[in-house]
Amino acid sequence: MSDATHRPLAGLRAWLTMLSISLEERLAYRGDFILGTVMRFLPIVTQVFLWTAVFSATSRPDIAGYSRDDIVAYYLLTMVSRAFSSMPGLAGGIARGVRDGSIKKYLVQPVDYISFLLAARIAHKLVYYLVAALPFAVIFFLCRGFFPPAPDAVTILAFLLALVLSFLLGFFMEATLGMLGFWFLEVSSIIFGYMLVQYLLSGHMFPIDMLADIPTGIAGTSLADVVRWLPFEYTAYFPSAVWLGKVRGWALVRDLAIEAGWVVVMALCCRLAWRRGTRRYSAFGG
């Protein structure tokens, strides 16, 4: 076997080994993991009561094209989207490793740091969905009356592709954010600000369509138009809108291509931040 062929295979084996180790680490504290996963489903009841109260207080049958049932179904679907795209502790962990010097081991060992982080996050998601599969199934079964009829096979495939892309987008966005630690001693305020903006503009709280009536004063554009120029909607709103049939035809193809483009852009930014950051890095402690 030539060296050119051996190197990619060796890299793949190393990555699979990192994935296996990360899975074992996640399963070591499965009791705590299971409890934390189940507790995340409790806000669902609050959301159902909240939107029921909102629609009871208005005579309108829908808001921005969403009925009460649509909103509840949308919120449940965003829980799935956010479970893919959210990366709890990723940015803060990277910044902390830079600050305390523990990241330096990845500079001297033959392990690609970004690939290691990606393997660890894939392991986290695999364990999460292994634990959350049953609660998700129960919740969706109990709330099946809120959902429209199941979409066609093409829409389901587009939904699954959007979820995978949202995972990659969320990963590279937060990893890039964490690497600001190479330039700033403390980035917790930056991370908090990012999380707040991301939560508001991703569509997790409410569908982005509800911002269409809020003008910006810029050439007749609405706030929804501005938000759609940003990558945040692909981490929560977009996969949910795909399942509910809010995005169809060529618009669906276009938006999937845009989401894939954002993944490429953020992956390149992540690589660039890592290379530039490690060139100027001086490690202490660890």
Domain of residue 159, residue span: 8-279
- Is residue 2 one of the residues assigned to a domain? no
**CA-to-CA distance for 79 and 81, rounded, in angstroms?**
5
Banded model confidence at residue 260, pLDDT cuts 50, 70, 90: very high
Residue 8: is it exposed, middle or buried by C-beta count within 10 angstroms (0-12/13-18/19+)?
Answer: exposed
Q: Please give the model's pTM, rounded to 2 decimal places.
A: 0.82
Q: Are 242 and 158 in contact (CB under 8 A)?
A: yes
Tokens standing for 253? 């193809």
- Domains identified in the chain, total number: 1
pLDDT at 286: 46
Report the pLDDT averaged over residues 79-92: 89
- Is residue 115 one of the residues assigned to a domain? yes
Could you tell me what percentage of the chain is helix, strand and coil, using 3-state DSSP and rounding each to the nearest 5? 75, 0, 25
pLDDT above 70 (res 9)? no
pLDDT per residue as tens digits for the range 94-152? 999 888 888 888 787 777 889 889 988 888 888 777 777 777 788 888 888 888 888 99
- Is residue 284 one of the residues assigned to a domain? no
DSSP state of 60: -
- Is residue 223 one of the residues assigned to a domain? yes
- Is residue 232 one of the residues assigned to a domain? yes
- Is residue 3 one of the residues assigned to a domain? no
- Is residue 285 one of the residues assigned to a domain? no
Top pLDDT among 55 and 20 is at 55
